[in-house]
Each structure stands twice: as C-alpha cells, then as structure tokens.
C-alpha cells in the first residue's frame, strides 16, 4: 500500500467476508465470497456490479441486516459482525445509516413525514424536548431542500425525488459517520438524479461523511466515487481509484463492464464496441485466485499466471503513456 493511502484513517474494513443463504437444500447459496476491502474516512467508495452480484447483500451485511457466515466487518476498530452486545449494536445503528433504493417502498405510507424523519430520534431519544425534536426535523428537512410545511404530509403526496430527500433526511438526522447508499438514484427519474447526487455530495462535505455507494451505473459512479470496487458473482474482481479504473482496467470483467457504458456522443457511440466477458479465457489451471495489489491502491483478482499477464499489459501501457 502506498504511503499516501496508508496515512489515511480506515473507517470500515471488510475482512474475508462471505455471506451465504440457506436454500433449503444441502447446498448453500453463496452471495458474497471472501470480500476484502478498506474504506477510508471521508471518501466515497463505490461498489459496482450487475444484478445479483451480491453488492446489496454486502451493503446490508454492514448494517447487520444480513449476517456474515465467515469473516468480519470492522468499524472504527471494533468488530460489528456476528454476535455483539446490544449497546454495540445500537452504536452501529447510530453511526451507520442507509439510503434505500426505492423511496416509495422505503417510507411508511401510513406515517407522516414528521414521524418518518423523527423515527431515529425517538428510538435513541436524541432530543431534549418536543420543541427541540421539531426544530431538528425542520432543520433536517431544510438541509435536504424540503420545507418544514411538509412535515404533516404523507409520503404519497410527494414526488419520487422529494421522497428520496425524505429518506436522506431521516438518515442524516442521526448524524451518522458512515452511510451505505444502496442505488439511491436508480429508482428516480433521470431529470432529478443529478439533484440527489449533488445533495449527497453537499451533505458529505458539510457533515464529513463517508459513503459506500452501491450502484450498477458506471457513469454515475465515475461522477461521485473516489475509489471503485467491481464485484462479479460475489467476488470482488478489481479495486482502484476511479480514474485509474477507467483508464487502465485490468480484469476482463471490468473491461467488459466499462465497454458497456453508453457515451452521450453520437460519433463516439457509433464506434463504441461492446467487449463480452468470457470467463473461459481466464486461467483454467485451477490455481487459486486472490485479490493482489498490482500498483499502489490498485487490486486485481487473479491467479499467479494471470497476474503476470496483467503486469505485462500494465507495463506496456505505462510505457506507451510516456
């Protein structure tokens, strides 16, 4: 690891985490296999992958919704996976919050916005008096660009973008340190996606937050993320700074994923070629694959022989650049 990254404070680390589900048969379904990564304080770490790749499962494991079958998750130096005390569990809830994908489904339709936003305050009694609670709710709503007048309304009276703002407000009111954003804009209209992303960035700067941004849309990730991890069928295949990943993708799956991003330029778009990912072209010798650091901060999932291939490719690319 380079000196630059080593100096940064790690807020959350995922160590050899595997998550499996009982299928009712003898064989268990393994959604995430041996995931390993660190998230530094103040950054936006993106987890990218296709549907069913296990990215949401991993995000939910951090929030203790899905239990880890192996490995551990460490938040601020303390293990938060597996059996932990009630107090520690409440500490996790206080400090790690989630923004959900579907704002319509994630708000209680039979409760007012005031209740939705105050829910966390009630649970931890984070207010001194009733007036203080209302002031906090008003502040949280204003922070996300809604009006205090909206308090008495019900979620169905809002547009999708406004509902997502409510979802963000209820997470932010807890003053968390870490936020798992599970595809926060994929259920939104294209015209308001940028608004929500900008709002998230604004709040991150104001409140010194760290995001784990789960997405499948690479163009969005490039805009918001500092570092990106690519996950495929439960395995993390590549981790790199977002610019590095876009410039020198190494793993064939990453290359394929990047080649599928549409370009908003008709001339480029006409010549854009989609590269199919063919796992049979990988090393079939049965050697063990693991996540190796090929350049400082750039990890790739490979066997020994594949690693050498990537190294060679990278070296030639670097020479070309010179």
Partner 1 sequence: MEEKILENKSDLFEFASFDKNESEHIAAPQYSYWKSVWRTFIKNKFTVAIAILLLILILFTLIQPMISGYDPLIAPNVNDPEMRFLKPSAEHIFGTDNVGNEVFDVVWAGARNSIIISFVCTFITMVIGVTVGAIWGFSKKMDKWMIEVYNIVSNVPFLLLAMILSYVLGAGMGTLIFVMCVTEWVFVAFFIRTQVMIIRDREYNLASKCLGTSTWTMIKNNILPYLISVIMTYVARMIPSLISYEVFLSYMGLGLGVTKASLGRMISIYTSYMNGYPHLFWIPVTVLAVLSVSLYIVGQRLADAADPRTHM
Residues in contact with partner 1 by CB under 8 A are: 63, 65, 90, 93-94, 97-98, 100-102, 105-111, 115, 119-120, 122-124, 147, 149-150, 152-154, 157, 167, 170, 174
Shortest approach of partner 1 to residue 94 CB, angstroms?
7
Nearer to partner 1 by Cβ, of 117 and 237: the residue is 117
Nearer to partner 1 by Cβ, of 40 and 154: the residue is 154
Who contacts 74 (Cβ-Cβ below 8 Å, separation ≥6)? Answer: 12, 13, 15, 80
DSSP characters over 49-107: --TTSSHHHHHHHHTTSSPPSEEEEEETTEE-SSS--HHHHHHHHHHEEEE-S-TTTTS
Nearer to partner 1 by Cβ, of 105 and 263: the residue is 105
- Using CA atoms, how far apart are residues 295 and 258, in angstroms rounded to an integer? 20
Shortest approach of partner 1 to residue 95 CB, angstroms?
11
Query: How many angstroms separate the first and last alpha carbons of the chain?
Result: 24
Shortest approach of partner 1 to residue 223 CB, angstroms?
25
Shortest approach of partner 1 to residue 100 CB, angstroms?
6
Nearer to partner 1 by Cβ, of 158 and 299: the residue is 158
E strand or H helix that includes residue 162: helix 160-172
Query: Which residue is associated with the tokens 């549907």?
Result: 51
Shortest approach of partner 1 to residue 98 CB, angstroms?
5
Nearer to partner 1 by Cβ, of 183 and 306: the residue is 183
């Amino acid at each position: 690891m380079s000196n630059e990254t080593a100096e940064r404070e790690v807020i959350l680390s995922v160590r050899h985490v595997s998550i499996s589900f009982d299928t009712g048969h003898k064989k268990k379904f393994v959604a995430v296999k041996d995931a390993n990564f660190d998230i530094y304080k103040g950054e936006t770490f993106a987890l990218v992958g296709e549907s069913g790749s296990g990215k949401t499962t991993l995000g939910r494991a951090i929030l203790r919704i899905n239990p880890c079958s192996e490995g551990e998750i460490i938040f601020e130096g303390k293990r938060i996976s597996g059996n932990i005390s009630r107090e520690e569990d409440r500490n996790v809830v206080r400090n790690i919050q989630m923004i959900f994908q579907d704002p319509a489904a994630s708000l209680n339709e039979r409760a007012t916005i005031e209740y939705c936003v105050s829910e966390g305050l009630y649970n931890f009694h984070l207010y001194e008096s009733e007036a203080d609670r209302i002031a906090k709710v008003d502040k949280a709503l204003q922070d996300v660009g809604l009006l205090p007048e909206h308090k008495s309304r019900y979620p169905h009276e809002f547009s999708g973008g406004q509902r997502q703002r409510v979802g963000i407000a209820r997470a932010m009111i807890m003053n968390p340190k870490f936020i798992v954003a599970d595809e926060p804009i994929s259920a939104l209209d294209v015209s308001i996606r940028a608004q929500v992303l900008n709002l998230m960035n604004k709040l991150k700067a104001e409140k010194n937050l760290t995001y784990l941004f789960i997405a499948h849309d690479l163009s969005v990730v490039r805009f918001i993320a500092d570092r990106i991890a690519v996950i495929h069928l439960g395995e993390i295949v590549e981790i790199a700074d977002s610019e590095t990943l876009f410039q020198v993708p190494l793993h064939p799956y990453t290359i394929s994923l990047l080649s599928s991003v549409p370009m908003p330029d008709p001339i480029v778009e006409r010549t854009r070629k989609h590269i199919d990912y063919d796992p049979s072209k990988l090393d079939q010798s049965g050697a063990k694959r693991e996540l190796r650091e090929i350049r400082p901060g750039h990890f790739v999932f490979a066997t020994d022989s594949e690693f050498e291939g990537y190294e060679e490719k990278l070296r030639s690319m670097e020479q070309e650049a010179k």
